[in-house]
């Protein structure tokens, strides 16, 4: 049954994605500022579909830690689920993503129009400078920046090494770092076809002041981003 449900979800995932990408391409021409709204619609549909088809629900706690306006959110990354869920939780989400996605036909060009931040991970210091420039733009536009400091997806209970770019972002933008822990990989694996029913938990922690020295900030962030791994239970403030 899990295999059949997972196959059905994948069909729906790609069908809806293709249809809305075509729609967004039209929106890009007539009202480019509305492309982000199409992305948010896509994410909301997926949240419903993953619940109805795969039996995966979502619990979120700590939303009160995210202020109105610009914000800097550092989240664990275990699943493709993480790459769209924030579009349903924030008013103007702005993901930091690898620039390889820009080369995807039809979909790639829409990412930039939606105001997302592309990073060339092979560009070294130039990548950090480009990231900081784009982050400043996002702050001016009152966007909520979502970054995965691990740089890639990790497995539950086996967090990856945090990259120091998050500390540079906090210093440049002056925004506190809001740490996020999740266990999405328990139900939607890193590269898994099967999606198991259950409840994904997202735990949003207390902001870490931007002026915290780099070493202390990284240590505090690493600790906070493992909250779900340390606690099997959590109080849900929102269930989707």
Q: Which domains does the chain have, with CATH numbers?
A: 56-239 (3.40.1130.10)
Neighbours of 48 (CB within 10 A): 12
The predicted model gives 43-65 an average pLDDT of: 96
User: Which of the two residues, 164 and 83, has the higher pLDDT score?
Assistant: 83
pLDDT at 198 exceeding the cut of 50: yes
The predicted model gives 80-94 an average pLDDT of: 94
| Token pair belonging to 178 | 């809001």
The H-assigned helical ranges of 55-106 are 82-89
pLDDT bucket at 94, cuts 50 / 70 / 90: very high
The predicted model gives 165-173 an average pLDDT of: 91
Question: Is the CB of residue 127 less than 8 Å from the CB of residue 176?
Answer: no
pTM over 0.85: yes
pLDDT at 106 exceeding the cut of 80: no
| Token pair belonging to 28 | 């890009």
Lowest-confidence pick of 25-34, 42-51, 99-108, 226-235: 226-235
- How far apart are alpha carbons 55 and 196 in whole angstroms? 7
**pLDDT of res. 135:** 92
The predicted model gives 156-172 an average pLDDT of: 86
pLDDT bucket at 233, cuts 50 / 70 / 90: very low
pLDDT bucket at 172, cuts 50 / 70 / 90: very high
End-to-end, the C-alpha distance of the chain in Å comes to 23
In order, the DSSP letters of 155-224 are BTTBPPPPPTHHHHHHHHH-PPEEEEEE-GGGTB-SS-S-B--EEEEEEE-PPBPTTS-HHHHHHHHHHH
pLDDT bucket at 231, cuts 50 / 70 / 90: low
Q: Is the dihedral of CA 118, 120, 124, 129 positive or negative?
A: negative
Strand order in the sheet with 198-204: 117-119, 93-98, 144-147, 71-75, 177-182, 198-204, 56-61, 238-239
């Amino acid at each position: 049954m899990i295999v059949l449900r997972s196959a059905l979800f994948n069909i729906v995932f790609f069908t809806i994605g293709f249809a809305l990408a075509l729609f967004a391409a039209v929106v890009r021409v007539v009202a480019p500022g509305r492309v982000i709204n199409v992305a948010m619609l896509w994410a909301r549909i997926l949240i419903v579909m993953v619940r109805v088809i795969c039996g995966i629900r979502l619990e979120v706690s700590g939303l009160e830690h995210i202020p109105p306006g610009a914000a800097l959110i550092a989240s664990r990354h275990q699943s493709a689920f993480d790459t769209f869920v924030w579009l349903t939780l924030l008013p103007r989400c702005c993901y930091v993503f690898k620039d390889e996605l820009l080369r995807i036909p039809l979909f790639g060009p829409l990412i930039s129009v939606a105001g997302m931040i592309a990073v060339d991970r092979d560009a070294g210091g130039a990548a950090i400078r480009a990231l900081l420039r784009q982050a400043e733009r996002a702050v001016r536009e009152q966007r909520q920046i979502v970054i995965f400091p691990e740089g890639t997806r990790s497995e539950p209970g086996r967090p990856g090494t945090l990259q120091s770019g998050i500390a540079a972002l906090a210093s440049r933008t002056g925004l506190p770092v809001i740490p996020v822990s999740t266990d999405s990989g328990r139900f939607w694996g890193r590269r898994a076809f099967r999606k198991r029913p259950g409840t994904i938990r997202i735990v949003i922690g207390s902001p870490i002041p931007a002026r915290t020295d780099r070493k202390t900030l990284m240590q505090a962030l690493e600790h906070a981003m493992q909250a779900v791994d340390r606690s099997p239970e959590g109080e849900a403030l929102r269930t989707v």
